[in-house]
Amino acid sequence: MIFIAQNNYLEYKLKKVHSEWKIDREASNKIYLDLLSSKDTKKGCKKILSLDESIRFVGRIKERKITAFVRRDDSESLLDDEMSNMAHYQISVKVSVEEMFDRSLGKTNWMITSKELVKLITLFLDDGLLILSMDSEGDHGKVIQKIRTLNMEI
């Protein structure tokens, strides 16, 4: 009985996340236009990008929207636009699942997914998320520590 209730709750949360993160082309274009006006946040992303050569991409998410991002000049995107949207959706699902455990286990500090080609890092901030992609051989512990020691608002 408890498992069924938890399963129904998870299904409810996933449907809610799916509907909140549904992005069409027009909305996607608006997000990119909004990014251009968020210079301070983009400046913070650039600062983080400069911390380590293994960092490929840095993005900032507030209120379930990407507010700024930067990519290393010599680093091509491994995902097309559609797959990028799916990757952001996947992050939102993972975040929602993590939030279900906050009361019992405490808030999540960060998550990492290690793939053959890249590591994907999500740092939980008070007002959103910081997302990074880095080379698979990079030292994610060192990168996370460097970010935590920054004395700046992102």
Looking at 3.40.50.720, 3.40.470.10, 3.90.226.10, 3.30.450.30, the CATH number of the domain 2-149 comes to 3.30.450.30
Number of Cβ within a 10 Å radius of residue 18: 13
Which residues contact residue 27 at a Cβ distance below 8 angstroms, ignoring those fewer than 6 apart? none
- 3-state DSSP call for residue 55? strand
- The predicted-structure confidence for 53-79, as pLDDT tens digits, reads as follows 999 999 998 887 888 899 999 988 899
98 within 8 A of 111, measured Cβ to Cβ? yes
Specify the DSSP class assigned to residue 77: -
Tally of CA atoms within 13 A in the half-sphere of 34 that contains its CB: 13
pLDDT at 1: 38
Q: What residues does each domain of the chain span?
A: 2-149
- Structure pTM? 0.71
Q: How far is CA 110 from CA 27, 43, 76, 129, 146, in A?
A: 28, 22, 25, 9, 14
How high is the mean pLDDT of the chain? 79
Cβ neighbours of residue 4 under 8 Å, at least 6 residues apart? none
Angle between helices 81-99 and 2-20 (to 10 degrees): 140
48/56 Cα distance (integer angstroms)? 10
* Residue in the structure block whose two tokens are 């994907």: 120
User: How confident is the model over 6-17, as pLDDT tens digits?
Assistant: 445 555 555 555
